[in-house]
Amino acid sequence: MQQTAQHARERVHRASSDPTRERIVAAAIDLFSERSFEGASTRELAARAGVAQPLLNYHFRSKDDLWRAAADQLFAEMTQALDTRSAEVIADGDVAGAKAVIREFICFSARRPQLHRMITQESKADGPRMDYLVDRHVRPIYERTAQLLGTLVKAGAVPAIPVEHLYYIITGAGPTMFVHGPECRRLTALDPTDDAVIQAHADAVCLLLFGPHSAPAAA
Amino acid sequence: MQQTAQHARERVHRASSDPTRERIVAAAIDLFSERSFEGASTRELAARAGVAQPLLNYHFRSKDDLWRAAADQLFAEMTQALDTRSAEVIADGDVAGAKAVIREFICFSARRPQLHRMITQESKADGPRMDYLVDRHVRPIYERTAQLLGTLVKAGAVPAIPVEHLYYIITGAGPTMFVHGPECRRLTALDPTDDAVIQAHADAVCLLLFGPHSAPAAA
DNA sequence: CAAGAGTCTGATCAATTGATAAAACAATCT
DNA sequence: AGATTGTTTTATCAATTGATCAGACTCTTG
């Protein structure tokens, strides 16, 4: 069982850099988020990564396994972008810090709309992939976010809205423009990858949430 | 060319009620919005409609054609739900009326999350189906919505945010909870199909947009 | 009843899908 | 150089895909 041993390897030292494997995951992130799981064929995946199709099954047990690796990678990136800050913010109820976290969330969604694209694709109906997303990634994020939003409401920093609604308002209002990037480009004169547009969107969401109190661009 | 003649028929008298055809379109709306275009096989489509698979190609030229019929149906429903009101509201700058239109938009998104699910699926990357959606349905809606939002900003009814951003904030904040219905059910204790929850969400979005001015539940 | 148009199904098509097997290639160690 | 281990490719598999065709069924009309 040579294959099995290699798949074991794949799971053992994740940290070790494997450029080919990383190129495949990068291609998977793009294609899965654009075309959905079923819409992305392993052949096109491989072509975009510049490798032969069976190589996917060498580095990953199955197409599902590759999808999970792509999801893991995206959530790891978001965690890295938000975690250090948000953890301490929740602890001491720092409103300005919380605002910065929300801004960073919006900016991340603009930089990596693939994350929300993949979430959206699987959150519409129950299924094994939604199980994986919710149990492994989304629920912990939701719980901490709800806690953060609760402190903001209690502090009067944002209007008195139940945290469940606030959560879906923010995760909807923030990323949608960037998730629908190609559509936005056709409908409007704005370029959703332009940093000025991204900042303007973060300003807009924060203005609605926090009111016209502090400076639009927080550190 | 018997088939051709029948497909012509299909395009001629749309208004005429064809129960079988309608059942197929209804199944297509559900399955396409849940599983995406590629993820919905014609066999499962037919099974959900309770017919044999080749019947789809009898009533519709192709799978693409069926998809377009499903999209048309969804947009027709939304147009019917919003049009009468929104047209006159834009005309005379009726702020309370505009608020009611936005509330109705949110309620419609809760009743028929399939519409936004289909839009989201195709708006992530350019393609023939996005062409159809944008050119035929989304652009006209966007233009009128942008106009409506412009009057609201000018009247000072909502914060001074560029209409492009307002558009994506509203179309994100409003429907996302319902588009992600199954996920929401798992993350929270709320049932996104419960009318009280829907109204609470509309209240929340309107509170953020219009402030705590008028009564939460407008007519 | 017979004829015929319209509706629907079973059988089947070529093409594509994810996955596997076997072999070629590459790199390291002796 | 020869052997071994790890990586990648070519060839191929069974299964599923969307679509087509010929025939069966249903209904109205003559």
Q: What is the pLDDT of residues A193-202, one digit of tens each?
A: 999 999 999 9
Q: What is the pLDDT of residues A22-39, one digit of tens each?
A: 999 999 999 999 999 999
Name chain A contacts of B207, Cβ cutoff 8 Å: 159, 161
Q: What is the pLDDT of residue A31?
A: 98
Q: What tokens does B161 get?
A: 């945010």
Please give the Cα distance from A167 to B113 (Å, whole number).
18
Residue partners of A126: CB distance under 8 A and separation at least 6: B182
Find the mean pLDDT for residues B139-158. 96
Q: What is the DSSP letter of A150?
A: H
Q: What is the pLDDT of residue B85?
A: 77
3 state SS of A94: coil
Q: B45, B177, B208: which to substitute to probe chain A, counting the most A Cβ within 10 Å? A: B208
Q: Residue B124: closest CA among chain A residues belongs to which residue?
A: A180
Q: How many CA atoms lie within 13 A of A215 on its CB side?
A: 4
Q: Residue A159: closest CA among chain B residues belongs to which residue?
A: B208
Instruction: Give A78 CA → C21 C1' in Å.
Output: 40
Closest nucleotide relative to residue B41's CA, C1' based: D17
CA distance A11 to chain B (A): 28
Confidence of residue A90 (pLDDT cuts 50, 70, 90): confident
Q: What is the DSSP string of A159-185?
A: -S--HHHHHHHHHHHTTHHHHTHHHHH
Confidence of residue A93 (pLDDT cuts 50, 70, 90): confident
Please give the Cα distance from A169 to B178 (Å, whole number).
11
pLDDT at B9 over 70: no
Q: What is the pLDDT of residue B16?
A: 60
Chain C nucleotides with an atom closer than 7 Å to a protein C-beta: 6-11, 16-22
Name chain A contacts of B179, Cβ cutoff 8 Å: 120, 123-124
Name chain B contacts of A165, Cβ cutoff 8 Å: 177, 200-201, 204
Please give the Cα distance from A136 to A23 (Å, whole number).
24
Please give the Cα distance from A137 to A161 (Å, whole number).
25
3 state SS of B125: coil
Please give the Cα distance from B4 to B6 (Å, whole number).
5
Name chain B contacts of A138, Cβ cutoff 8 Å: 183, 187
Q: What is the ipTM of this complex?
A: 0.92
* Interchain proximity A165–B201, CB inside 8 Å: yes
The answer to whether some atom of strand D lies closer than 7 Å to the beta carbon of A55 is: yes
- Orientation angle between helical segments B195-210 and A195-210, nearest 10 degrees: 110
The residue assigned the tokens 């654009």 is A34
CA distance A158 to chain B (A): 9
Please give the Cα distance from B215 to B202 (Å, whole number).
12
What radius of gyration, in Å, describes the C-alpha atoms of chain A? Answer: 19
Please give the Cα distance from A130 to A118 (Å, whole number).
10
- Closest C-alpha to B102, from B9, B204, B174, B177: B174
Instruction: For residue A142, give the amino acid letter.
Output: Y
Q: Residue B199: closest CA among chain A residues belongs to which residue?
A: A165
Instruction: Give B3 CA → C1 C1' in Å.
Output: 29
Q: What are phi and psi of A74, to 5 degrees?
A: -65, -45
- pTM of the shown model: 0.93
Q: What tokens does B177 get?
A: 């909870």
Please classify residue B194 by burial: count the beta carbons closer than 10 Å to its beta carbon, then call 0-12 exposed, 13-18 middle and 19+ buried: exposed
Closest nucleotide relative to residue A18's CA, C1' based: D7
Whether the CB-CB separation of B155 and B95 falls below 8 Å is answered with: yes
Q: Residue B197: closest CA among chain A residues belongs to which residue?
A: A165
Looking at per-residue confidence, does B123 or A3 come out higher?
Answer: B123
Give the sign of the dihedral formed by CA B78, CA B79, CA B84, CA B89.
positive
pLDDT at B148 over 50: yes
Q: What is the DSSP letter of B134?
A: I
Q: What is the pLDDT of residues B60-116, one digit of tens each?
A: 999 999 999 999 999 999 999 998 777 778 778 789 999 999 999 999 999 999 999
* Interchain proximity A186–B39, CB inside 8 Å: no
